[in-house]
Each structure stands twice: as structure tokens, then as C-alpha cells.
Amino acid sequence: MDRIKIRLKVDLTKYHPELKIGAEGYTIGTYGIWSRGSNRFIGVCFPNIATLDVLWDSLEIIDSDYLKQLEKNKKEKEEALKSATNVVKHLGPKGGFRVLSYEYKQNGITVHASTGSKGEAESLEKLFEKNNINVIINK
């Protein structure tokens, strides 16, 4: 994993007095037991302070190159999703949202994807509707 420059959004002074909101460091991938056991954590090196596992939610990414690449990837995926096929919205027995599954081609490879996040599914459905892609409802 490439090093990603980050800034702390929370106070971690209980671990080290210098780990205040705004402290800057960089990611190092899996480090301790928490980052090895859960993708919610990442190993972070705070130079001359400490290296420890930190929740991604506690970090702000400040690496401009990384953020540019993320934006580029997002635009490429959005473009690829404009030709999605086999879009199926699966509902539970009482009509509640369960999952949205779909396929699309990216770089010549067919990607089979799904999301159980209602918010993400709603955004995708808007994109599909905008591009006249039929969404099949599976009850």
C-alpha cells in the first residue's frame, strides 16, 4: 500500500500527548492487531511521535495525489456504469430494500457488483434512470 498523507480528526492524547486533533502522519497498511483484523482500521505512522492502528473514520486524507486518483477512479467508474446491465433491486418479504446487484464492463472486464447500502443504491438507481437503464424489482 502506498503511503497516504493523513491528518487526525480526533484527540488521541490518551495514547500519546502529541496525538492531538490536526496531527499529521501517513498510512503504512496493516500494522497491529486491529488493522490486521478489520479494514475499519489502518496502521498510521506519526513521525517522531508514534505508530499505531487508527480508525479510518478518525482520519482526514490530505494527500492531494491520492485524492486526485480517487476522483479519477470515481469518474471512470461512473462512465462505466452508464452501460450497466442485469440491474436487479432485491426486496424483502415486506417490501424493504435488501440489495442492488448489477454488472458493468470496465477496462474490458465484466464486473459483477452489489450493494446493501440503501443510500448507495438510491444514488446508483438515479444514475441508471438518467441513462435509461432498466432496474428489475425482485420481491
The domain spans of the chain are: 5-62, 74-138
Looking at every residue in the chain, the average pLDDT score rounds to 93
Mapped onto helix, strand or coil, the DSSP state of residue 4 is coil
Dihedral of CA 115/119/121/127: which sign? negative
Contact present, 124 and 100 (Cβ < 8 Å): yes
Has this prediction a pTM greater than 0.75? no
pLDDT of residue 5: 97
Q: What is the number of other CB atoms lying within 10 angstroms of the CB of residue 25?
A: 23
Long-range Cβ contacts of 48-51 (<8 Å, 24+ apart): 49/16, 49/18, 49/19, 49/23, 49/25, 50/15, 50/16, 50/18, 50/19
Q: Is residue 139 very low, low, confident or very high in pLDDT (cuts 50, 70, 90)?
A: confident
- The verdict on domain 74-138 having CATH code 3.30.720 is yes
What b-and-e string marks burial along 102-139, b requiring 16 or more CB atoms within 10 Å of the CB?
A: bebeeeeeeeeeeeeeeeebeebbeebeeeebeeeeee
Q: Which CATH number among 1.20.120, 3.50.50, 1.10.12, 2.30.30 corresponds to the domain 5-62? A: 2.30.30
pLDDT of residue 1: 57
Percent of the chain with pLDDT over 70: 99
pLDDT digits (tens, 9 = 90+) for 105-126: 988 899 999 999 999 999 999 9
pLDDT digits (tens, 9 = 90+) for 55-66: 999 999 999 999
- Tell me the longest C-alpha to C-alpha distance in the chain: 56
